[in-house]
Homo-oligomer: A and B are copies of this chain.
């Protein structure tokens, strides 16, 4: 029952922010809540491989007193203040994206982590065409890309009747979807169905 005193003690907005979100694992917990919505304790644990259970409990307490998360009948939910962290996470993600190139095979991969970058990366180049869906079978669970009316949305789970299905390890799927590696040269990546969906959403080189 010790109180958090670890502060930079600076009258500076950045330092004050880091006093709250600067601890290890904290921002990744917020990431999980942003990607998965209201979550159970064990669900968070699954999305944060390697975190110690006591650390998760500590962080959730800290975030609760800081007003970043709240509890709703057993679920952990982001508050308004917590959702306001999305720009911070997007900025860090954009900055960290180049580091993925040096990722090792020891890195864990969960497909829902792709939701944020893909949402920024993919665009609808032919908004006039009827909506289409692309199912990604990668990582621990499938992911569905819905494109139409100029909007690209990412959803967890599989599509009911996907126009195309992409299969392969996340480390090779992402460069293809980023338009940096042509599909033919991506090892272990296979696409069935209408490849026009890919051309529709992948950023032009």
Partner of A95, one of B88, B99, B103: B88
Nearest-neighbour CB distance to chain B for A36, whole angstroms, equals 14
Q: Assess the B18–A28 pair: CB atoms within 8 A.
A: yes
Q: How many copies does the complex hold?
A: 2
Residue among A99, A116, A171 with the most chain B CB within 10 A?
Answer: A99
Query: Is A16's CB within 8 Å of the partner chain B?
Result: yes
Stretch at the interface among A7-15, A55-63, A197-205: A7-15
Query: Is A87's CB within 8 Å of the partner chain B?
Result: yes
Please indicate the chain B residues that have their CB under 8 angstroms from the CB of A93 in the complex: 12-14, 17
Nearest-neighbour CB distance to chain B for A200, whole angstroms, equals 23
Question: A10 to B109, alpha carbons, bound, how many Å?
Answer: 6
Identify the A interface with B (CB < 8 A). Answer: 8-22, 24, 27-28, 31, 49-50, 84-85, 87-97, 99-100, 103, 106-110, 113, 116-117, 170-171
* Pairs A–B under 8 Å by Cβ, sample size 16: A8-B50, A9-B106, A10-B108, A11-B109, A13-B93, A13-B99, A13-B100, A14-B92, A14-B113, A17-B92, A19-B99, A21-B92, A22-B27, A84-B95, A85-B95, A91-B91
